[in-house]
Amino acid sequence: MLVRHFDETDPEPSDGWLAEQAALGSTDALAVLYERYGRVVVSFATRMLGDRDSGEELLQEVFVRVWRQAGTYSADRGSFVTWILSITHNLAIDTIRKRQRRPQRADSADPFLMLANVADSGPPVERQVEMSQLGQVVRSAIATLPDTQRQAIEMAYFRGLTQREIAAELGDPLGTVKTRMRLGMQKLREYLEQHEVELP
């Protein structure tokens, strides 16, 4: 039997447990997730949309989506932060397309890099250290890419452009852009595997 109860005696409930409780209707569990990841979401959304106000507006949409879809989250398929940043990314891209404009160019092509630069007192110190180390490894991986490959991947991820749109903006053949992106992703994957980094 599922219990709709938020256990306030647990000083550090897991993200998975909190998601389960939120799916059962616990606003307290949702509030804890908001406290843990709200700033990360705002920072990531702001980077994509280009201004803080838009980032904060999207934050509300993200947590409405989290509230409605909490039951679909599974820790077996990846970390909660990956899941919520995926939701943030998708909603930000929708917003960008609705506005018919493009966001500011980001400094990196992976949401994990955001976590290393965002102060968050919610998670324990161990988690902050882990994410900081992960951010450093991914930053190193991005730095190994040739500029053309890194640029194409950034344009696709942070600006929501299709390969055809990237080719048009850069003035390069579509086939060339596809090859750059494929090679870039292969290099990132190989680098992370060599350094025994597991990303969902």
For residue 148, give the DSSP letter: H
pLDDT of res. 171: 92
The full set of domains in the chain, from first to last, is 15-124 (1.10.1740.10), 144-195 (1.10.10.10)
Percent of the chain topping pLDDT 70: 70
Q: Which of 43, 48, 168, 170 is nearest to 104 (CA)?
A: 48
pTM of the model: 0.56
Model confidence pLDDT, tens digit, residues 14-48: 889 999 999 998 889 999 999 989 988 988 888 88
pLDDT of res. 12: 78
Say which residue the tokens 């991986």 belong to. Answer: 141
Distance CA 67, CA 22 (A): 6
